[in-house]
């Protein structure tokens, strides 16, 4: 008896889905780069014309970004770039702290010395970056790479999945904060990350978590202040 698999159509991803992902990626990058302001309306037809596509992929892309927390929909008004409030900051960073606290504890138990060396290598890259002129995008991306790797080497799959789901909102907050506080990376962030790695290398879970929580508390305070302010320095501008 022969198997007639060849008679069946191949299972391939539809082009519409691929196009929607492309549109979502471009819009995501534009929002994170502050090319769209908080509360700015995202008009499907305008975006479709600019990207030379139909409205369907744009609609799907906006839904994806809504699920990521970068876009909000208002009844009978359409889609808008999310305005991050002080409460949003507190919620995002409280979840982030919980996830990364778990990541540290599991990494200290499970990660090899070589994996902790990878974190240390990123700290060295931060130090080199801080000694020259750098863009806030570079600094933010290197910062996030450190925390992403921390979750990866923890060996805790669900922590990694949850952190990645939150990462676009974390990046948006970090980038906007650093655009308005350009010396933050050079003056504080590099040292914070170095202290976390030092404690992890010593397999001192309490100390590593303490350093992380100090880092998160100061970051949250600054972000809440920015989100509370009116005008160009606030997240809600």
By the 8 A CB rule, do 179 and 232 touch?
no
Q: Phi then psi for 74, rounded to 5 degrees?
A: -120, 135
By the 8 A CB rule, do 66 and 21 touch?
no
Strands 78-81 and 41-42: antiparallel
> Angle at CA 24, nearest 5°, toward 23 and 27?
85
CA dihedral of residues 193, 197, 198, 203 (deg, nearest 10) = 140
Nearest CA among 93, 67, 65 for reference residue 81: 65
What is the structure's pLDDT at 233? 37
If you write DSSP's letter for every residue of 11-52 in order, what string do you get? ----HHHHHHHHHHHHHHHHHHTTSS-TT-EE-HHHHHHHTT
What is the structure's pLDDT at 4? 47
d(CA 33, CA 137): 8
Burial of 210 (0-12, 13-18, 19+ CB in 10 A): middle
What is the structure's pLDDT at 158? 98
Residue 71, SS3 per DSSP: strand
Residues belonging to the chain:
237
By the 8 A CB rule, do 99 and 162 touch?
yes
What is the structure's pLDDT at 234? 40
What is the structure's pLDDT at 229? 65
Give the residues across from 79 on adjacent strands: 42, 73
What is the structure's pLDDT at 154? 98
Nearest CA among 215, 175, 210, 208 for reference residue 192: 215
Domains located in the chain, CATH noted: 15-81 (1.10.10.10), 86-228 (1.20.120.530)
Each of the 237 residues of the chain gets a pLDDT tens digit; together they read 444 444 545 554 445 568 888 898 889 888 877 788 888 999 999 999 999 999 999 999 999 888 877 899 988 899 999 888 899 999 999 999 999 999 999 999 999 999 999 999 999 999 999 999 888 888 998 999 999 999 999 999 999 999 999 998 898 888 877 777 788 888 888 999 999 999 999 999 999 999 999 989 988 988 888 777 643 334 433
d(CA 33, CA 176): 9
């Amino acid at each position: 008896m022969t198997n007639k698999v060849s008679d069946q159509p191949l299972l391939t991803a539809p082009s519409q889905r691929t196009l929607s992902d492309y549109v979502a990626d471009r819009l995501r990058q534009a929002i994170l780069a502050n090319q769209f302001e908080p509360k700015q309306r995202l008009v499907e037809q305008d975006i479709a014309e600019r990207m030379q596509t139909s409205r369907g992929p744009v609609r799907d892309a906006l839904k994806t970004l809504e699920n990521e927390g970068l876009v909000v929909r208002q009844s009978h008004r359409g889609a808008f770039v999310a305005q991050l409030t002080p409460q949003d900051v507190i919620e995002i960073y409280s979840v982030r702290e919980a996830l990364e606290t778990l990541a540290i504890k599991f990494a200290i138990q499970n990660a090899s010395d070589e994996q902790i060396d990878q974190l240390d290598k990123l700290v060295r890259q931060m130090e080199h970056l801080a000694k020259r002129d750098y863009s806030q995008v570079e600094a933010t991306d290197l910062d996030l790479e450190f925390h992403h790797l921390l979750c990866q080497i923890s060996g805790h799959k669900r922590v990694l999945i949850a952190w990645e789901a939150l990462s676009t909102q974390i990046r948006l907050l970090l980038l906007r904060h650093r655009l308005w506080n350009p010396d933050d990376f050079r003056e504080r962030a590099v040292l914070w990350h170095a202290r976390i790695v030092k404690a992890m290398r010593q397999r001192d879970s309490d100390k590593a978590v303490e350093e992380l929580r100090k880092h998160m508390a100061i970051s949250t305070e600054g972000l809440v202040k920015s989100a509370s302010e009116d005008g160009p320095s606030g997240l809600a501008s």
